[in-house]
């Protein structure tokens, strides 16, 4: 306490001496001031200088002492946050310890107590540095000028502002003492984390009063105002440590401390000095962080916390409140544990205006915790498929939504000389349409599509949507979102282009900034570009609607609301995504454990979050469906055709699809796969009395594109037709063992060799077999006894053969008593049995070999098996 009292007394003595010295040198100051004014006037021209000075504001004492906060307004023009009124404690010069004064002066203005508001030596040094090292290498503002700038002037860099700043600094020095100005500076300066003034900063970071500060603590505080966010000791302790050491070096350079003292202070780690961080209680902190990022990135020399701005933003409080509420434990989403993070961004689909940002769960205020919505990023998984694969395929290759791809085992490149097999989940689907591949999020078709598009075109397409790539090297794994990392805001911005007819708008949160000195406001302009044809945008949106209604994203479906969207997960489900949009809003949601490679227990969380948030913000808002542009044609197609073909009148209804085509590429050829074949011609039936058989013959002109086989059916009088044979290629067949005196009818029709459902209309012929001529009864009786035993054995054998005959009607002659008929029947039935058994085995083989298909069952008859069938039929005949 004694040392502190002596220190204060010494400073009071110094203050008095400084005041006396100031009175003695008043004439010197006036002379120097006039000299500077003359020099500046000579450079700028007397009239312009006078004009600038006359426009300077008055020295308002209230603005020098009162907080001058920055106000933020939402999209409705309502005030929602005020920065600059929190954590402010005023001090006087007597409250400042010498160690802190030395640290501030060494860092900001070492000749502060010697100059008159403007440091000519420093100006000269700054001019030399800017010439030798480039413009902006060094500034020349004194502490007095900084007080003036923060209190009265806009932060915009201009000659006018600089002239006014210097003029007002001279006036301030004439009106107030050095000690008063120094305390003004320490009370106004912003130290990060909503701490204004050095006393508030000491309490926030160290939980100490000013008179308790150590050298390393004072050095840290002196270094923070240059870049409060960058040097935030809680978020960036390493950068804060470097800055603290720079201040210590400056103190040594200006002989404020010794080398030994600096070395000892440098050894103290920033983390060891800090107290536990407290909450800031500023609403919508995640959104405000985006506002600060935009302002700092687009406007030079602006400090939102100090410059008393009016910032008009795009914030929709209805969306922001719901986005934050859903992150709470009782907000409507069931989270498996407190460590699982979720973040989201909401943008206006038509303009790119950011309506809400949810930065993560369990946040602690502005810049206090990591903002997952706008910082860092994660691999996007399958949400990249419309961006890198299918969007570019439509844009550059004019693919239709029907375009056929094959889902099969496939090895893709993840990095040089390393390949992995595509993830296999529920089995490969074979030939599928592009629409189905995207709906079910199949990986193999996506990788194949990227290869066909080409990496350069795919990357160019994605960059047009605002996606930035950190490397040019591109691997197939990018096709399924295994490459670049994105944030929810970046993904929402990209997806909004699909819902905005192909026009990409850079996302933005700030519309206008107004300055407290009344100078011209800054209007923020967002960049726009035509990222794709409207046909591409509409066709992608139409496919993504299927993802939500019947694909992998059904948990995001909102009845009555036209929504398009896509799911995404990464390896082992360490990240889960959903990006979706209507014509009004676009939302991207991410869930994961941040830097931890842990599996997300519930990958549906992003879909449910999207569902509730989109439902809420769409209430009472008219939401139009996506409008089909004139550049797109919707056409019927027959499923599985490649290239796409129109269905015929014979195409089964369950195989007719409605697909989208870029105008001029729609199908014009009609499929003949299910067309009715031409009927056979010249069908004749001739009876051979000697062989007791009927020979059927016909003519048919084969079409090489649609080869046909034939099916023959027959029936006796009053019976239903039964298949005699099928799948034959010959145009002639013999029907043995016909019954004398019986009337027969036969029908023959052509059947597509490739598609059994495609047939011709049948051709029919009738024939009546004449009755057997009367024979001598005695001759019949003489032979009856001799043949009785033989006929009985042969009939028993025929009955066994008849049981294997497939109902062809070939056994009619087996029941007769004539020996010749029995012989012929036995021979033919034995051949039939062998033939039928072979045919049944071949049919089973064909059935087993039929390929699976998404849309239809189809399979080509094996040529070798057909030949075996034909040989069998010929033997049978």
Q: What is the pLDDT of residue 190?
A: 83
Highest mean pLDDT among 74-83, 776-785, 788-797, 853-862: 74-83
Question: How far is it, in rounded angstroms, from Cα 383 to Cα 772?
Answer: 82
Overall average pLDDT of the 465-472 stretch: 87
Do the strands 528-530 and 564-569 form a parallel or antiparallel pair, or are they unpaired? unpaired
The predicted pLDDT at position 555 comes to 98
- Tell me the helices (H) and strands (E) count for the chain, helix number first: 26, 25
How buried is 636 (Cβ within 10 angstroms: 0-12 exposed, 13-18 middle, 19+ buried)?
Answer: middle
Is the distance from CB of 575 to CB of 378 less than 8 angstroms?
yes
More confident residue, 652 or 847: 652
What average pLDDT does this structure show over 8-34? 47
Under the banding of pLDDT at 50, 70 and 90, the label for residue 579 is: very high
**Segments in 423-517 forming alpha helices (H):** 434-439, 443-453, 455-463, 488-499
Which residues, 6+ apart, have CB-to-CB distance to 852 below 8 Å? 429, 430
Burial 760-796 (b: 16+ CB within 10 A, else e): bebbebebebeeeeeeeeeeeeeeeeeeeeebeebbe
Q: How do residues 621-641 score in pLDDT, each as one tens digit?
A: 999 999 999 999 999 999 999
Q: Which of 807, 800, 867 is nearest to 830 (CA)?
A: 800
149 vs 322: which has the higher pLDDT: 322
pLDDT of residue 792: 44
Tell me the mean pLDDT in the region 29-45: 52
pLDDT of residue 156: 62
Q: How confident is the model at residue 856 (pLDDT cuts 50, 70, 90)?
A: very low
> With 90 as the cut, is the pLDDT of residue 14 above it?
no
Average pLDDT, integer, range 603-615: 98
Q: Is 238 exposed, middle or buried (0-12, 13-18, 19+ CB in 10 A)?
A: exposed
288 compared with 59, residue with greater pLDDT: 288
> For residues 184 and 7, which has the higher predicted lDDT (pLDDT)?
184
Please check the confidence at residue 87 and state whether its pLDDT lies above 90: no
pLDDT value, residue 510: 97
What residues act catalytically? 108, 382
| Residue pair 853/640 in contact by the 8 Å Cβ criterion | yes
Highest mean pLDDT out of 13-22, 642-651, 656-665, 813-822: 656-665
Contact 303, 149 (CB under 8 A): no
**Would you state the pLDDT for residue 829?**
40
Per-residue pLDDT averaged across 398-426, rounded? 78
C-beta of residue 137 within 8 angstroms of C-beta of residue 129: yes
pLDDT at 13: 46
- CA–CA dist 157, 284 (Å, integer): 30
How far apart, in whole angstroms, are the C-alpha atoms of residue 31 and residue 170? 12
The predicted structure's pLDDT at residue 53? 61
**CA–CA gap between residue 627 and residue 538 (Å, rounded):** 7
In the predicted model, is pLDDT for residue 501 greater than 80? yes
Tokens 């090489």 sit at which residue? 704
Mean pLDDT across 185-211: 88
What would the pLDDT profile of 797-828 be if each residue is shown by its tens digit? 444 443 333 333 333 333 333 334 334 344 44
| pLDDT band, very low/low/confident/very high, at 500 (cuts 50, 70, 90) | very high
Q: What percent of the chain has pLDDT over 90?
A: 55
219 pLDDT band (50/70/90 cuts)?
A: very high
What residues have CB less than 8 Å from 349, skipping those under 6 apart? 496, 499, 500, 581, 582, 583, 584, 585, 586
Residue 37: which pLDDT band, with cuts at 50, 70 and 90? low
pLDDT digits (tens, 9 = 90+) for 306-321: 777 899 999 999 999 9
The greatest distance separating any two alpha carbons of the chain, rounded to the nearest whole angstrom, comes to 170
Per-residue pLDDT for 388 more than 60?
Answer: yes
Q: What is the pLDDT of residues 730-782, one digit of tens each?
A: 999 999 999 999 999 999 999 998 777 788 999 999 999 998 764 443 343 33
Instruction: Please report which confidence band the pLDDT of residue 451 belongs to, taking 50, 70 and 90 as the band edges.
Output: very high
Residue 68 pLDDT: 65
pTM above 0.85, yes or no: no
What is the DSSP secondary-structure string of 207-265?
S--GGG--HHHHHHHHHGGGSTTTT-TTT-HHHHHHHHHHHHHHHHHTTSS-HHHHHHH
- Would you state the pLDDT for residue 150? 72
Kindly state the average pLDDT of the residues 591-608: 94
Whole-angstrom distance, CA of residue 374 vs CA of residue 268? 33
| Segment 48-59 mean pLDDT | 63
């Amino acid at each position: 306490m004694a040392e502190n009292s002596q220190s204060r007394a010494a400073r009071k003595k110094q203050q008095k001496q400084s005041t006396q010295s100031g009175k003695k040198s008043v004439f010197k100051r006036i002379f120097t001031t006039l000299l500077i004014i003359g020099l500046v006037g000579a450079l700028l021209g007397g009239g312009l200088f006078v004009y600038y000075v006359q426009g300077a504001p008055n020295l308002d004492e209230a603005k020098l002492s009162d907080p001058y906060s920055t106000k933020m307004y939402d999209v409705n023009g309502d005030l929602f946050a005020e920065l600059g009124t929190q954590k402010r404690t005023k001090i006087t010069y007597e409250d400042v310890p010498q160690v802190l004064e030395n640290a501030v002066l060494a860092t900001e203005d070492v000749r502060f107590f010697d100059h008159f508001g403007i440091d000519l030596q420093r100006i000269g040094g700054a001019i030399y540095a800017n010439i030798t090292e480039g413009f902006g290498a060094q500034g020349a503002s004194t502490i007095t000028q900084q007080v003036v700038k923060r209190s009265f002037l806009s932060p915009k860099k201009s000659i006018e502002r600089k002239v006014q700043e210097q003029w007002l600094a001279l006036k301030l020095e004439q009106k107030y003492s050095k000690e008063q100005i120094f305390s003004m500076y320490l009370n106004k300066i912003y130290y990060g984390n909503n701490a204004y003034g050095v006393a508030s900063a000491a309490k926030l970071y160290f939980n100490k009063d000013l008179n308790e500060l150590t050298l390393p603590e004072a050095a840290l505080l002196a270094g923070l105002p240059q870049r409060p966010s960058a040097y935030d000791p809680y978020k960036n302790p390493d950068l804060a440590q470097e800055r603290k050491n720079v201040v210590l070096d400056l103190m040594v350079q200006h002989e404020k401390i010794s080398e030994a003292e600096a070395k000892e202070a440098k050894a103290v780690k920033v983390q060891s000095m800090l107290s536990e961080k407290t909450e800031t209680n500023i609403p919508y902190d995640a959104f405000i962080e985006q506002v600060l990022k935009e302002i700092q990135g687009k406007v030079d020399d602006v400090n939102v916390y100090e410059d008393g701005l009016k910032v008009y933003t795009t914030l929709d409080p209805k969306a922001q409140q719901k986005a934050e509420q859903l992150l709470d434990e009782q907000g409507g989403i069931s989270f498996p544990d407190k460590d699982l993070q979720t973040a989201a961004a909401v943008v206006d689909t038509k303009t790119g205006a950011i309506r809400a940002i949810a930065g993560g769960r369990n946040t602690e205020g502005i810049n206090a915790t990591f903002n997952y919505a706008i910082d860092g990023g994660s691999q996007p998984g399958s949400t990249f498929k419309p961006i890198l694969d299918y969007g570019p395929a439509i844009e550059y290759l004019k693919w239709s939504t029907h375009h056929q791809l094959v889902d099969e085992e496939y090895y893709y490149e993840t990095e040089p000389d390393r390949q992995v097999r595509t993830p296999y989940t529920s089995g490969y689907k074979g030939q599928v349409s592009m629409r189905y591949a995207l709906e079910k999020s199949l990986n193999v078709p996506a990788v194949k599509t990227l290869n066909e598009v080409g990496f350069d075109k795919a990357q160019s397409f994605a960059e047009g949507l605002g996606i930035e790539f950190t490397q040019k090297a591109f691997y197939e794994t990018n096709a399924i979102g295994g490459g670049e990392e994105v944030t929810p805001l970046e993904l929402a911005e990209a997806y909004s282009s699909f819902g905005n007819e192909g026009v990409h708008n850079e996302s933005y949160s700030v519309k206008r900034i107004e300055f407290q000195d009344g100078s011209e406001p800054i209007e923020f302009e967002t960049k726009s570009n035509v990222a794709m044809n409207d046909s591409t945008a509409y066709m992608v949106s139409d496919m993504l609607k299927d993802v939500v209604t019947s694909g992998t994203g059904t948990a995001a479906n909102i009845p009555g609301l036209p929504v398009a969207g896509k799911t995404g997960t990464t390896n082992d489900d360490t990240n889960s995504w959903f990006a979706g949009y209507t014509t009004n809003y676009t939302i991207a949601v991410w869930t994961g454990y941040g830097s931890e490679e842990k599996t997300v227990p519930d990958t549906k969380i992003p879909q449910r979050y999207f569902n509730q948030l989109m439902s809420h913000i769409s209430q009472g808002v008219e939401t139009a469906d996506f409008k089909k542009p004139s550049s797109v044609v919707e056409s019927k197609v027959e499923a599985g055709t490649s290239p796409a073909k129109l269905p015929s009148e014979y195409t089964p209804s369950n195989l007719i699809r409605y697909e989208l085509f870029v105008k001029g590429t729609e199908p014009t050829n009609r499929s003949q796969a299910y067309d009715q074949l031409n009927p056979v011609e010249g069908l004749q039936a001739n009876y051979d009395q000697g062989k007791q058989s009927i020979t059927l013959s016909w003519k048919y002109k084969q079409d090489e594109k649609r080869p046909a086989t034939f099916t023959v059916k027959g029936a006796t009088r009053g019976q239903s037709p039964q298949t005699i044979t099928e799948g034959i290629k010959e145009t002639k067949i013999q029907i043995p063992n016909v019954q004398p005196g019986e009337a027969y009818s036969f029908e023959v029709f052509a059947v597509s060799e490739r598609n059994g459902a495609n047939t011709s209309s049948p051709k029919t012929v009738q024939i009546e077999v004449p009755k057997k001529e009367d024979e001598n009864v005695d001759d019949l009786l003489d032979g009856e006894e001799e043949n009785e035993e033989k006929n009985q054995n042969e009939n028993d054998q025929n009955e066994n053969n008849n049981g294997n005959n497939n109902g062809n009607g070939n056994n009619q002659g087996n029941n007769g008593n004539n020996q010749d008929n029995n012989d012929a029947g036995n021979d033919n039935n034995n051949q039939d049995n062998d033939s039928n058994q072979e045919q049944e085995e071949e049919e089973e083989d064909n059935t087993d070999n039929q390929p699976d298909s998404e849309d239809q069952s189809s399979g080509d008859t094996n040529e070798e098996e057909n030949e075996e069938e034909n040989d069998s039929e010929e033997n049978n005949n």
